[in-house]
Structure 1
């Protein structure tokens, strides 16, 4: 099942089958879970004039490769901003929650352009796309990732963090215009910034993930994006980090911040 087919099922059904190929260990990749909830939010609001402003995702529990139920409630629909909550249910329990705000453009005298500028990367054609390691999560095969700075996960690096190019794998995804649901699916594919410091294979998982949507997407699934992550702090089994995503024209698309549970 393609992502487009999955989105269609979400639009017309309360219960949805999760497609194969998205496992992250024994559970479903969190980016896919977030993307499913985002598409449910967009379909429920059903107003293309209201674009995503920001969203917060809490991964309450592990999602298995089994049917899930998506419920959505518009908490408030004002003149400019709509706030919506989406819940993903499995085994009669809430496993993930998305809280998102959508808004229409408003007149304002305030304009600030201080967003972080895109880093200078070598052409992606000169880099090696990361090969899928047999012990790496299955879901990594859905994306092409090319490291520019920093080390690969589990290489005992003395420092965290990395940057690189990313896109949907053209062999697994037909090209089409990218949506905000696709944005959530893709942006969470990079591992947490502390993973290069791991000395051996061990898990890490997102606990909360907040995304601010800056400039509207003008990209397709096969277009490349620049990604860079920075870890603020890590101790006592948790880490906090933020990441920026730019399109191939160096336009800032999104800023993400997450809390990560660390098992190493």
Structure 2
């Protein structure tokens, strides 16, 4: 099932709950025993997006992965508007499966306003656009199923479980089958596709899980190419005691910074 179909499904789930009281996401979007975190976060975001005025742009998105979301099993997305003022909206979403909260997300939206305060972003990268994907091949029972929906091209850093001394990943990403358009929901679904930076430091496979994820969005007022590449550079800020903290920048093909991502990751080695 394509990402656009999933986003359409969640919109129907929110707008017509009597016709679609629950949702299903197939196993090809799974990551181990749960749904891929990026797609579950994207669905929670899209449910919030359709619940507020369209003139409000996403400013920040915070997501806690509380428990696994079983693929091919029904779940609900519940939305609560915490506050909707003249300029900003604060909204909450929960994914509930079998009576348990599996994902909790909160987003802040705000309308663009005239301001005398302008600070240009000067963060740049020097990576050349890739000619093709270059990352983990599809290996049965080893490669996460959801990766078949993405193309990743690593520029710096190593593959997971290679005993590397590196703890960063720099590269490019895009959807393997381009969506009709690229929205914030598509970007949320895309940004989380990379493995945790610290897994490359291990010599043997071990599970890891994102506990919390924060994405702050910057809007360069430009439309994105549906089949375009997005640059991604993530670095480990600190890791110890079975937890790692990472921070990433995301740029479009024009070199404009469009998002800043931060994650707290639990490693079970």
**Cα drift, residue 9 of structure 1:** 1.8
Distance across 1 between alignment mates of 2:241 and 2:56: 40
Q: Does 1:71 align with 2:71?
A: no
Q: Alpha carbons of 1:96 and 1:133: their partners in 2 closer, same or farther (altered >3 Å)?
A: same
Distance across 2 between alignment mates of 1:38 and 1:112: 28
Deviation per residue, 1:212-241 (Å, 9 max, x gap): 001256224421011000101111110001
Contiguous gaps of at least 5 residues in structure 1: none
**Cα drift, residue 2 of structure 1:** 2.2
Task: Report the 3-state secondary structure (helix = DSSP H, G, I; strand = E; otherwise coil) of the residue aligned with 1:190.
Answer: coil
Partner of 1:91: 98
Q: Alpha carbons of 1:101 and 1:230: their partners in 2 closer, same or farther (altered >3 Å)?
A: same
Q: Does 1:166 align with 2:170?
A: no
Figure out how many residues of one structure are paired with residues of the other and give that number.
Answer: 259
Distance across 1 between alignment mates of 2:132 and 2:75: 41
Deviation per residue, 1:139-178 (Å, 9 max, x gap): 11110011101111111001211101111013xxx44111
Contiguous gaps of at least 5 residues in structure 2: 14-20
Contact map agreement 1:61 1:96 (CA 8 A) in 2: yes
Partner of 2:27: 20
Q: Alpha carbons of 1:244 and 1:58: their partners in 2 closer, same or farther (altered >3 Å)?
A: same
Q: Alpha carbons of 1:34 and 1:120: their partners in 2 closer, same or farther (altered >3 Å)?
A: same
**Which of the residues 80, 90, 114 maps onto 2:121?**
114
**Cα drift, residue 84 of structure 1:** 0.2
Distance across 1 between alignment mates of 2:139 and 2:260: 28
**Cα drift, residue 128 of structure 1:** 3.4
Deviation per residue, 1:173-213 (Å, 9 max, x gap): x4411111111110000011111101111111100000000
Contact map agreement 1:130 1:144 (CA 8 A) in 2: no
Contact map agreement 1:130 1:146 (CA 8 A) in 2: no
Contact map agreement 2:4 2:179 (CA 8 A) in 1: no
Could you list the runs of 4 or more consecutive aligned residues of structure 1 that deviate by over 6 angstroms after TM superposition? none
**Cα drift, residue 115 of structure 1:** 4.3
Distance across 2 between alignment mates of 1:84 and 1:57: 12
Distance across 1 between alignment mates of 2:223 and 2:160: 31
When the two chains are superposed, the root-mean-square deviation of aligned CA atoms in Å is 1.5
Contact map agreement 2:88 2:111 (CA 8 A) in 1: yes
**Cα drift, residue 89 of structure 1:** 0.2
TM-score (norm 2): 0.92
Task: Report the 3-state secondary structure (helix = DSSP H, G, I; strand = E; otherwise coil) of the residue aligned with 1:141.
Answer: helix
Contact map agreement 1:176 1:220 (CA 8 A) in 2: no
Distance across 2 between alignment mates of 1:239 and 1:175: 32
Distance across 1 between alignment mates of 2:119 and 2:102: 38
Contact map agreement 2:133 2:152 (CA 8 A) in 1: no
